[in-house]
Chain A
Amino acid sequence: MVERACYLPGLDPQALHWKTLTFGQGGGPGYEVAVPVLEPQDMTRLAAHVRHHAAQHLRPLPVSRIVEVIDRVIARLLDRKDPYRQRMEQALPVVTGYDAEMVRVGLTRYLKTFRKPELLRFLAEDFPNPAILDEFQPLPKGGYGRAFGPGVLGHIWAGNVPALPLWSLVCGLLVKSGTIGKVSSAEPLFATWFAEVLAEVAPELSDCLAVVWWQGGEDAPERALLQSADMALAYGSANALADIQSRMPSGKRLLQFGHKVSFAMISAEALDPAKATETARRAAEDIARYDQQGCFAPHVVFVEKGGHVSPRVFARYLAGALSAFGQRYPRRALSMAEANSLAAWRQQEEFAHGAELIGDALGDWSVSFHEGGQGFGPSCLNRAIRVVAVDALTDVPNQVAPYRAVLQTVGIAAPPDALFRLAGLLGEAGVTRIAALGDMTTPEAGWHHDGRFNLSDLVQITEMDARAPPAADRLASYDD
């Protein structure tokens, strides 16, 4: 199967060089994905084209119309009879290696959070009056304001979680920016399909976004994009982000979404015989979904002592739940490097940290149980989880505080009082999202991504002084 990962309005595909990325090994059908090799001048032309068309066609649209367009695109991608949806279901499992059923269910769960009601909430979260994106609106302090997104917003995506670019694509559209997105070599397809469906749904917007590719870390095309865009968003490791930042022309903003780590906390109250297995199932779901590749997935589960079901028994329930999950949604095949890193993690847990290892080395999950002592520590991912018994969950925030810069989501299973008390302590420690256990990997529409504002971070407010309209009045023809 051959797919193209690019969307290049205004460029002649015949005139470009192409490169082929190959996906899928072993049994099933593989995929070849053709990606364009763009010269810096191509990037510059593309940016100019997108900037021009966004100014002509996207910026004049009321934001409510943009919401409707996105809603219709998402409806198409949710429709299992739609050819694009079918291509997604066929290709993304092969390209990313994730289990096909997990991809299918995960896509639906994720796409559902971008329907019109969610998009409206998304807007309302950052703009009490979203019409501020359309025209000057009265401000509470007096005067008027209007929010302008960047003329061209550059996106540099990373990782292999299917459809990840959707988040920032939607943000860019809502603030009416022209978009140039650079796809990750590990999942280059979704953004292209989004652009193609958008062009079908709203042909007038078909030249307002572009999808490009280059080998991650390559200097010239990245520099060209960063120079042509007014602002950029980038995902990736700390090193990759530092490189991108170094190429960013001074005076332009780069919004960075670095790798984050998440963990789970389980209170004694969630550990009676009636609740413990469900608690374990929910934790397993957070661990197994996309094999912990997303920032939202837990690396460690802290389990409070004193419940009817002990942390040790909970670790076994968790192992059982991971095993059951693995039967429904097998883990993707590991690369040699990943397999080595898993073996090293298991060895480290067992011999260096004295953990009890549950699950055998060849299985598709590993649980290490620590009666105490060990605290937070990053997992090698791919369904490897450390379970740590703690006397009280309130001890955990101190243990994780040294990781402040990289903390993100905490999945909590605890009664209401404890939930809020822990949330306060965790927020102090740097955590930016508290979720119910089982919901860690599916954040709500409009959540403050890594503690930031999604849309208001992208815009610039043009203010009209409160005294300006009265002053204008004096120059009106009707002035007397």
Chain B
Amino acid sequence: MDFSGKTVLVTGASRGIGAAIAKAFAAENASVVVNYLQNAQAADATVAACNALGGDALALQADVTDQAGARRLVADALDAFGKVDILVHNAFAPFVFSPEKRKLFWELDWSDFQAQIDGSVKAAHGMIQAVLPGMLERADGTIITIATNLIAHPVVPYHDYTTAKSALVGFGRNLAMELGPLGIRVNTVCPGLVYPTDASRAVKEDLKQSLIAQTPLRRIATPEDVAGPVLFLASPWAGFMTGQTLYVDGGAMMR
């Protein structure tokens, strides 16, 4: 698939899944905005990799949970590339996946939930508000949010994280209904456990083995595994798909 002439904005793209998505778009000749929050070095490395793959990439710092930050990010992206055709909302609030250290439900405050909801739904809201005017003008645009297969089966109950991601899926479905008539598609990708990423580094072998045993394709997802379905949903090949949730987890969830 050739994404020449398309601009993709990937939030949380300095590392892990976001970086893999940015690089995959770059390899298909897209212009890529690599958004990051803190790790400028990692973002620069991703940009360098994107450029080496033939894309045209730019790192932009912004806290997307803050509406002003989101607005500034999109403005900077428009300054650089003139438009945003594809938004991949991948950023989420800091979270460490550790079945051993996770908080039990009664140890969580509402503030924990709020932080995750802000990181996923509020950030998505801010980003989409910011990119929407341009997309509406062209009656064209694709939005992809990244959730998790834990919404279907919380193998480890990361209450705050998974609740927020579940909300993100509902948010995306409503948006798909609203924006479909306006030519904008909204879909969600739900990866299984992706390893290695900084967030999943603490996951122990035992859990990985038990997930592998329940996964028809018998392995854990890599960041690159997630990129393919994202590119597909962004492409004209998925032109008649909206409001969909694609599980990218080796078949662990079949729905």
CA of A313 to CA of B105, assembled, Å: 12
CB-based nearest A residue for B105: A273
B-side contacts of A313, CB under 8 Å:
104
Tell me if A17 counts as interface (CB < 8 A to partner B): no
Cβ-based interface call for A449 (8 A): no
Judge whether B100 and A309 touch: CB under 8 Å.
Answer: no
Q: Is A275 an interface residue (CB 8 A)?
A: yes
Give the Cβ gap from A282 to chain B, nearest Cβ, in Å: 14
Q: Kindly supply a per-residue 1/0 record for chain B positions 204-246, scoring 1 wherever the CB is within 8 Å of any chain A CB and 0 otherwise.
A: 1001000000000000000000000000000000000000000
Q: Which residues of A contact B204 (CB under 8 A)?
A: 274
Q: Tell me which residues across on chain B come within 8 A of A273, comparing CB atoms.
A: 99-104, 156
Q: Within the assembled complex, what's the spacing in Å between the Cα atoms of A461 and B102?
A: 60
Closest to A269 in B: B100
A275: chain B residues within 8 A (beta carbon): 100
Q: Interface of chain A, helix or strand or loop or mixed? A: loop
Interface residues on B, range: 10 to 19
Query: Closest CB-CB distance, B113 to chain A, in whole Å?
Result: 17
Enumerate chain A residues within 8 angstroms of B207, measured Cβ to Cβ.
274
Nearest-Cβ distance from residue B99 to partner chain A, whole angstroms: 3
A272, B102: Cα distance in complex, Å: 8
User: Which DSSP category, helix, strand, loop or mixed, fits chain B's interface?
Assistant: loop
**A353 within 8 A of partner (CB):** no
Q: Which residues of A contact B98 (CB under 8 A)?
A: 274
Task: Report Cα–Cα, A273/B108, bound state, in Å.
Answer: 13
Minimum CB–CB distance from B244 to chain A (whole Å) comes to 32
Q: Which chain B residues border A309 with CB–CB below 8 Å? A: 104
Is A65 among interface residues, defined by CB-CB distance under 8 A?
no
A308 to B100, CA, bound (A): 9
Give the complex CA separation of A274 and B98 in angstroms.
Answer: 8
Residue-wise, chain B 151-175 has the 8 Å CB interface mask toward A (1 for contact) of 0000010000000000000000000
Q: How many angstroms from the CA of A309 to the CA of B204 in the assembled complex?
A: 19
Q: Residues of A contacting B104 with CB < 8 Å?
A: 273, 308-309, 313
Q: Considering the chains assembled together, what is the distance between the CA atoms of A274 and B102 in angstroms?
A: 8
Restricting to B68-108, which residues have a CB under 8 Å from any CB of A?
98-104
Query: Which residues of chain A (264-312) have a CB below 8 Å from chain B?
Result: 272-275, 308-309
Closest A-chain residue to B206, C-beta based? A274
Distance (whole angstroms) from the CB of A272 to the closest CB of chain B: 4
* Cα of A9 to Cα of B149 in the assembled complex, Å: 67
A477 to chain B, nearest CB (A): 70
Please report the C-alpha to C-alpha distance between residue A309 and residue B106 in the assembled complex, in whole angstroms: 11
Closest to B103 in A: A273
Closest to A313 in B: B104
Cα(A272)–Cα(B99), bound, Å: 8
> Which residues of chain A come closer than 8 Å to B99, judged between CB atoms?
272-274
Tell me which residues across on chain A come within 8 A of B103, comparing CB atoms: 273
A308 to B156, CA, bound (A): 16
Smallest Cβ-Cβ distance to B204: which chain A residue: A274
Residues of B within 8 A of A308 (CB): 100-101, 104
Q: Which 10 A-B pairs have CB atoms at the shortest separation, nearest pair first? A: A274-B99, A272-B100, A274-B100, A273-B102, A273-B104, A273-B99, A273-B100, A272-B101, A275-B100, A274-B207
Residues of B at the A interface (CB closer than 8 Å) are: 98-104, 156, 204, 207
Could you jot down 17 A-B contacts, CB within 8 Å? A272-B99, A272-B100, A272-B101, A273-B100, A273-B101, A273-B103, A273-B156, A274-B98, A274-B100, A274-B102, A274-B204, A274-B207, A275-B100, A308-B101, A308-B104, A309-B104, A313-B104
A274-B98, A274-B207 given. 11 additional CB < 8 A pairs?
A272-B101, A273-B99, A273-B101, A273-B102, A273-B103, A273-B104, A274-B102, A274-B156, A308-B100, A308-B104, A309-B104
